[in-house]
Chains A and B, each alone.
Chain A
Amino acid sequence: MIYDLIVIGGGPAGYLGAERAGHAGLKTLLIEERSLGGVCLNEGCIPSKTLLHSAKIYDYARFGEKYGVTAKDVVLDHRTVIARKNKVVKTLVAGIRSQLKANHVHVMEGHAYIAGRSSDGYTVRVNDDTFIGRRLLIATGSVPIIPPIPGVKEGLERGYVLTNREILDIPQVPGSLVIVGGGIIGLEMASYFNSAGSKVTIIEMLDHIGGNIDREISQILLKNYQKKGIEFKLNSKVVEICDGAVVYECDGRREAVEADKVLMSVGRKPAVQDIGLENIGVEIERGAVKTDDRGKTNVPEVYAAGDVNGRYMLAHTAYREAEVCVNNMLGKRDIVRYHAIPSVIYTNPEVASVGETEESARQKGIEFEVAKVSMRYSGRYVAENEGGDGICKVLINKKYRNVIGVHMIGNYSSEIIYGAGLMIEAEMRVKDIKELVFPHPTVSEVIRECIFQFED
């Protein structure tokens, strides 16, 4: 059977690319090995959000006194939380399935393997069937990095060490949880399990948490977490995982922290193995499929989108990359711009950012100005966040006076940040944004307050 397009991988890049291609009239086959929706939907973004929402409700109930609300005998039933998570995932996966169907995409379950190239196109084997695709979209995503630390492999095998996949399904809240890696996944899981009652310790190699987020915001987040009782071991390197404890090195000293469970969240790597990329000569660079800004690989009509290209590893980046790939397949020139991709950590408080940080701007040699205001400039924030210490920080290009970065910590940031992304994409200047009306009272007004710190 010959398809116009074979999509390998049914995550955000794969299913959206297939939908768009099918909608445009390309005869499209989507092959997914595990479950439609990929990591994002099944073991990432969406399930973690359902857990975090339960934790938030629980926290509101427990700590409502300062708002004049007291509740007794508040219980977080982890089993119910997980059951609800599964229901949410099921609903959304079904939604994707029907969307694909509506766009006439054929969906196959199984492991796709690119066998080679013929005059008709690329041969892809799934289970015992063979299909030919005139074009390929590689959207195989990423897998967790499992560092070669003694005890990790064994720990994974007996269920003591978990990845993002397993931890979302553990039946009980562990008494103590050690999280290796203070990035987005680690921080979100720390937030839930801390609320759910675990004693959580985060071990991070760097001197700060949250990866590339603004350092000041990283500090504020750290303090908020510490206040909740989460422990941090920064500048610390895990050297061994024993039975019941994680051993790490800090300042040359070996220390150990007890753990009922260990979450391994040191990062993810593109899934480029065992799919036959080598059979058609797709170039791999630093473990990722190398693509240009149109999503093209070095092989004609072979595109790649999402985590597999090793660029940003965010579901919304994958969406856009897949759309760009399909547009280029259809002859519409389109490119992915990476400078205004928002990123959010759904902790409590939420962290959201888009564009350059002070650190990255300095590194790139961009001349910029920065302004910062407290979230307490927003009436709604004050009303809803007793003792909140959030901030909003805006960076502008000194020469053109347009916004190049916005960083926020405080709830609702996640829903506000897209507006900031729009400002960056549209290269709006300070004086342009000053003309915009923000709804009052909302937290989004802090952006306006921040903008008015700048001269035109």
Chain B
Amino acid sequence: MATPVIMPRQGQTVESCIITKWHKKKGEAVKVGDLLFSYETDKAAFDEEAKVEGTLLEVFFDEGDDVPVLATVCVIGQEGEDISEFMPDGKDASTAKDVAAGGQQQSAAESGSEMEVEGGDAAQEDGRVRISPRARNLAERAGVDYREATPTGPNGRIIERDIRQLIEKGQLVTLAARDEYIGAEGMRIGGTGIGGRVTTADLDSTKRDAHYEVPQPPVQEVKAGEADYEEVKLSNIRKVIARAMHQSLANTAQLTIHTSFDATEILAFRKKVKEQGERLGLANITLNDIILYVVSRTLLNHKALNAHFLDDKMLLFNHVHLGVAVDTERGLMVPTIYNADTKSLDEISREAKELVEACRKGSINPDYLKGGTFTVTNLGSLGVEAFTPILNPPQTGILGVDTIVQRIKEVDGKLVTYPSMGLSLTFDHRAVDGAPAARFLQELKANLENFSIFLAK
């Protein structure tokens, strides 16, 4: 009996996943444990293995398709078996792809299969021009540049009427000039041919003009056959990060304030743990863990920073769900230590290590990648002395941990050096004013400088 393979649900909040790679082709034999396809959510990547043996009878989605969770992705069975019952919505394989979310829906006015064309229209978020085959055929016949069309189809796709509109508007190109005109990325060429068509003479004169108008400075030549850059497609995670970062800066009123504290006590504590931790059964507690611990306690006195700012209201949390920024090969990930304020230093340390490990392996449960009420990010280990972390909205604060430098202070009329660790707090001024934010930093500084007493509290 044929067996359907469904898109697994990765965490309660994940509604769809993108297939990033197919490891098997339709018609190929598969054994139990063979990699079928890789897929990713907003933040994590996974592999799906075959759980039954047989032939990959049908594949309903392509690489890059956004597939709703629990939808049938493919069918494994014996050759010749009927798989019609697994067809999404009882349709055939080619139209099944239309159920994929985002940019894939078929317009009622159009027939034929969906097609996406690589192109250079910056108007499209992902750098691709979406155009229906009918529209593209028409554009080619009429010799118009479809990149000029204003898309009015679903999901920003160019459809036939857009090309008709373009023909009316008229950037027409003669047959002979077409290939080179389309190749001339970004060049706007006026047409002097029949009906205002762009002619080969226009191409040549534009090139000449460009040549004459812009004096060519001597350029260090790239060796022939050697591209001077490598084109890398953005991973889904990179796209998510890019969007999130930009939205954060665009939509909040964030600013960063800096302070530093005497790290003598936490360094001493760290040293002690390092020497005796194993014997005491303690985790390898790092300076960052100590800061997470102190932050999780101190925040409870500054609830406006342990909060979500939601335009017309704020959610002030009673517990601290601490986001920890993690550098992974795939990009930045921020898993959450839930209820950090109720966990011991040792527990926080252990949980942080587990989450970091899962993120780096790509096996993190996506539910851990949300729900934070405050975030801590650490560039200190890379020698950074101060930086301006970017908020993770709707959170209202993020603490950047900087490196330790030796500073001088006066003690009993003498100058002594001490290890000084920097802290950079970014907060959303819409939610918190400068003084309360500074007061949080002040208290944090005091608690860290007197860590042994703080532990006793």
List residues of A whose CB falls within 8 A of some B CB.
Answer: 335, 337, 339, 397, 399-402, 425-429, 432
The answer to whether B200 and A402 have CB atoms under 8 Å apart is yes
Which residue of the partner chain, among A335, A425, A427, A432, contacts B177 with CB atoms under 8 Å?
A427
Q: Which residues of B contact A397 (CB under 8 A)?
A: 176, 200
Q: Once the chains are docked, how many angstroms separate the CA of A429 from the CA of B176? A: 6
| Selected interface stretch from B191-199, B315-323, B405-413 | B191-199
Assess whether A426 is in contact with B200, with CB atoms less than 8 Å apart: no
B192 touches A426 (CB 8 A): no
A-B pairs, 5 with minimum CB distance: A427-B174, A402-B176, A427-B176, A400-B176, A425-B194
Within the complex, what minimum Cβ distance (angstroms) separates A320 from chain B?
Answer: 12
| Chain B positions within 8 Å of A339 at CB level | 201
Let me know if B200 and A400 touch, CB within 8 A.
Answer: yes
Q: How far is the CA of A185 from the CA of B67 in the complex (A)?
A: 77
User: A428 contacts B176, CB within 8 Å?
Assistant: yes
State whether A400 touches B192 (Cβ < 8 A).
Answer: no
A402 to B200, CA, bound (A): 9
* Interface presence of B182 (CB below 8 A): no
B175 is an interface residue with CB less than 8 A from chain A: yes
Contact status A337-B192, CB under 8 Å? yes
Question: Contact: B175 with A427, CB < 8 Å?
Answer: yes
11 contacts between A and B (CB under 8 A): A335-B192, A337-B193, A399-B200, A402-B176, A426-B174, A426-B175, A426-B197, A427-B176, A427-B193, A427-B199, A428-B176
**Distance from B191 Cβ to chain A, minimum over Cβ atoms (Å):** 10
Bound together, the chains give a CA A335 to CA B190 distance in angstroms of 13
- The distance in angstroms between the C-alpha atoms of A397 and B197, with both chains bound, is 18
Task: For the A-B complex with A426-B175, A427-B176, A429-B176 known, give 9 more contacts whose Cβ atoms are closer than 8 Å.
Answer: A400-B176, A400-B180, A401-B176, A402-B174, A402-B176, A425-B193, A426-B174, A426-B197, A428-B175
Q: For the complex, give the distance between the alpha carbons of A287 and B180 in Å.
A: 41
Given contacts A397-B200, A402-B200, A427-B200, contact A432 B175 (CB under 8 A): yes
On chain B, the residues within 8 Å of A335 by CB distance are 192
Chain B 195-209, CB within 8 Å of chain A: the 1/0 string?
001011100000000
Q: Mark B394-428, 1 if CB is under 8 A from A, else 0.
A: 00000000000000000000000000000000000
1/0 per residue B163-197: CB within 8 Å of A? 00000000000111100100000000000111001
A432 cross-chain contacts in B, Cβ below 8 A: 175
**Contact residues in B for A426 (Cβ distance below 8 Å):** 174-175, 193-194, 197
| B141 smallest CB distance to A (angstroms) | 11
In the assembled complex, the CB of A241 is this many whole angstroms from the nearest CB of chain B, namely 45
Could you say which residues of chain A place their CB within 8 Å of the CB of B197?
Answer: 426-427
CA distance A284 to B194 in the complex (A): 29
Contacting A at CB under 8 A, from B313-352, are: none
Contacts of B174 in A (CB 8 A): 402, 426-428
Select A400's contact among B177, B193, B194, beta carbons within 8 Å: B177
Contacting residues, chain B, for A402 (C-beta < 8 A)? 174-176, 200
Contacts of B199 in A (CB 8 A): 427
Contact check, A429 vs B193: say whether CB atoms are below 8 A apart: no
B199: nearest residue on chain A (CB-CB)? A427
Partner of A429, one of B175, B180, B192, B194: B175
Return the chain B residue nearest A293 by Cβ. B192
Query: What CA separation (Å) do A427 and B197 show in the bound complex?
Result: 10
Question: Which residues in A have their C-beta under 8 angstroms from that of B201?
Answer: 339
